[in-house]
């Protein structure tokens, strides 16, 4: 099937033994999180979150270029305060973070902006050598409002989280491993197998004990609901700011050249 086929599903799902594999399937759009893909992920969670035979999940992106790109900048440019307050990505990423069993991100290529926050919402991350992580939002006049302001410090500490969120600089796979952002780095062609292998190791343990352990670990995050409300409210103000439109217009004009 060519990627121009309108019937190609945005999300592929496959259960192998006790492991669910979800594949973001918009490779021609770098698996950008548009409304169709967000809806498809919600639908998959609806189907699988109460399946007792699913003991671990692997989330990956089709094609080698990207795990997931954030929202399309042209779409983001047109989003207003009301859109920020709906918390489209934060609601989805919270559901992924709260999925009853562990979720492992298998990452090749870019995981930037919302794509990086999606990887952070997973429990574990296996990166290929091509993986690139970053939160470039402030350069576009907005902020990383879908979890990076608390999930990133929980992984790498406040000092580095501040640096990454303020500068927007991009980390390669080796640096991401060194700072604790990812659990493992392997050659690109081994990423999925490594993540599935890790999921199978998890699946061999008692699923109820694993689920309870995940619930207990969630207590560490503190009051993320309040953090989400704050992030959405501040993002709403930024979405209306003239500087956001100026920066996004500049970005879009550069890309068209």
Residue range 138-185, pLDDT digits in tens = 999 999 999 999 999 999 999 999 999 999 999 999 999 999 999 999
Domain-located, residue 5: no
Residue of 14, 49, 117, 174 marked active site: 117
pLDDT band at 5; cut points 50, 70, 90: low
Tell me the CATH number at 135: 3.90.226.10
> How many angstroms separate the CA atoms of 123 and 144, rounded?
19
171-200 mean pLDDT: 98
Q: Is 243 a catalytic residue?
A: no
Residue 60 counted as domain residue: yes
For the sheet containing 110-112, what is the strand order?
66-68, 110-112, 132-134, 171-172
137 among known catalytic residues: yes
Tens of pLDDT, residue by residue over 76-94, are 999 999 999 899 999 999 9
Percent of the chain with pLDDT over 90: 86
Query: Helix (H, G, I), strand (E, B), or coil: what is residue 126?
Result: strand
The answer to whether residue 3 is domain-embedded is no
Task: Work out the burial of residue 186: count CB atoms within 10 Å of its CB; fewer than 13 is exposed, 13-18 middle, 19 or more buried.
Answer: middle
Share of the chain above pLDDT 70, in %: 98
- Look at residue 208 and tell me if it is in a domain: no
The parent domain of residue 176 ranges over 11-188
Residue 94 CA to residue 12 CA, distance in Å, equals 21
Tell how strand 184-186 and strand 19-24 pair up: unpaired
Tens digits of residue pLDDT in 204-255:
999 999 999 999 998 877 778 888 889 889 999 999 999 999 999 999 999 8
Q: Residue 1: its pLDDT value, please?
A: 45
Give the whole-angstrom CA distance, residue 139 versus residue 164: 12
**DSSP letter (8 states) at residue 27:** G
- What's the number of domains the chain is made of? 1
pLDDT of residue 145: 95
How is residue 17 annotated by DSSP?
A: T
Q: Quote the pLDDT of residue 132.
A: 98
pLDDT, position 256: 82
Question: Among 31, 20, 198, 192, which Cα is nearest to 99's?
Answer: 20
Concatenated DSSP letters for 44-112? HHHHHTT-TT--EEEEEESSSSEEE--S-HHHHHH--HHHHHHTHHHHHHHHHHT-SS-EEEEE-SEEE
φ/ψ (deg, to 5) at 13? -130, 140
Q: Which residue has the tokens 């930024």?
A: 238
137, 175, 221, 243: the catalytic one is 137
* Domain membership flag for residue 234: no
- Mapped onto helix, strand or coil, the DSSP state of residue 53 is coil
Q: Could you tell me the pLDDT band of residue 2, with boundaries at 50, 70 and 90? A: very low
Backbone angles phi, psi at 25, to 5 degrees: -120, 55
Q: What is the mean pLDDT of residues 102-115?
A: 98
Report CA-CA distances (Å) from 34 to 10, 51, 72, 253: 10, 26, 7, 21
Give mean pLDDT, residues 133-141: 97
Contact 127, 177 (CB under 8 A): yes
Average pLDDT over residues 18-26: 98
Q: How far apart (Å, rounded) are the C-alpha atoms in residues 11 and 230?
A: 30
Q: Considering the chain, what is the average pLDDT of its residues?
A: 94
In-domain check, residue 240: no
Distance CA 139, CA 73 (A): 12
Is residue 26 a part of any domain in this protein? yes
């Amino acid at each position: 099937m060519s990627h121009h086929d309108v019937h190609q599903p945005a999300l592929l799902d496959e259960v192998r033994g006790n492991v669910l594999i979800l594949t973001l399937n918009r490779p021609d759009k770098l698996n950008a999180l548009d409304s169709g893909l967000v809806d498809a992920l919600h639908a998959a969670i609806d189907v699988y979150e109460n399946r007792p035979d699913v003991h671990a999940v692997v989330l990956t992106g089709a094609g080698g270029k990207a795990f997931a790109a954030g929202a399309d900048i042209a779409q983001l440019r047109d989003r207003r305060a009301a859109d920020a307050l709906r918390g489209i990505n934060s609601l989805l990423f919270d559901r992924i973070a709260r999925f009853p069993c562990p979720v492992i991100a298998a990452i090749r290529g870019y995981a930037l902006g919302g794509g990086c926050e999606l990887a952070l919402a997973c429990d574990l991350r296996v990166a290929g050598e091509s993986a690139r992580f970053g939160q470039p939002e402030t350069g576009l006049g907005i902020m990383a409002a879908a979890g990076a302001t608390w999930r990133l410090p929980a992984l790498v500490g406040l000092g580095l989280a501040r640096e990454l969120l303020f500068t927007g600089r991009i980390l390669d796979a080796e640096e991401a491993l060194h700072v604790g952002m990812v659990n493992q780095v392997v050659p690109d062609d081994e990423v999925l197998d490594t993540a599935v292998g890790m999921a199978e190791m998890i699946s061999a343990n008692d699923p109820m004990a694993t689920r309870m352990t995940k619930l207990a670990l969630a207590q560490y995050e503190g009051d993320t609901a309040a953090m989400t409300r704050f992030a959405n409210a501040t993002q709403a103000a930024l979405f209306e700011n003239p500087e956001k439109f100026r920066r996004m217009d500049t970005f879009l004009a550069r890309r068209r050249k």
